[in-house]
Each structure stands twice: as C-alpha cells, then as structure tokens.
Copies of this chain bind each other. A is one copy, B any other.
Amino acid sequence: MRIGELSKRSGLSRDTLRFYEKQGLIHSHAGAAATNNYRDYPEDTLIQLEQIADAQAAGMSIADLILFLSQLEAADSEDFDGEAFLQARIDEVTDRIRRSERFLDSLRRAKQVLATPPTEP
C-alpha cells in the first residue's frame, strides 16, 4: 500500500512514517509503476507499527528498538551479548510497569476522593 493509506490505517502521520523508515524501523520497496518514485509498504507494516507503539508505551527509545529488532534477526553476533541486553530491557520494563501500577492506584484513590462528597461534621 502507499503511504497515504498506511497513514490512514495506522493513525500515524506521513511524516512520522517517513521518519520511522529513515530510522530503519519499517521498510518499503519501489512501487509497480516504474514511472513514479512512489514507495510501496507491505501489509504487515501495520502489525510492526503496533509493535512499535507497544515498545514506545513501554518506554523504549527508537534507538533501543533498533537494537532489539537487530536481536530478533541476527541471533548471533560476536561482540554483543543479546541475552544480557534483552534481560536489561526486561528489568527496565518490569520496573516501569510496577511504577505505573502504583501510580494508577493513586489516580484511582484521587478519583475516589473527588467522587465522595465531604461528610457533614
């Protein structure tokens, strides 16, 4: 599909998609018509964009994401401990979830307070 459709279906702006592609998070190939230079994005780019959104929600930077993706592909590089890298991310995300849940509790408590009318003395 072309970038306009991808943008509409993913909810991301064209600029964001081009930015992601420049960073190497998604990929496209030249379209069928040789007359233009329009790019074509495969259908599963939508799934990848969802995964990117998940990763971002978990606090990963794009730089980390690129490293993570290279882990999925490579699975064997000398000078890089993939397992250690992944474990470090797992620890980070776990901690972030813990903190998020703690914060969620205080949001709920605050709402509770707001919803409860003050008692007459």
Contact = CB atoms under 8 A, between A and B. Distances in A.
Which of A82, A97, A107, A114 has the most C-beta atoms of chain B within 10 angstroms of its own C-beta? A107
Interface in A82-121: 82-83, 86-87, 89-90, 93-97, 99-104, 106-108, 110-111, 113-115
As for how many copies of this chain the complex holds, the number is 2
A59 to B, nearest CB: 7
Contact of A53 (B58, B75, B99, B107): B99
Contacts of A55: 103
Contact of A71 (B86, B90, B110): B110
6 nearest A-B residue pairs (beta carbon): A57-B99, A58-B100, A86-B111, A54-B103, A58-B103, A54-B99
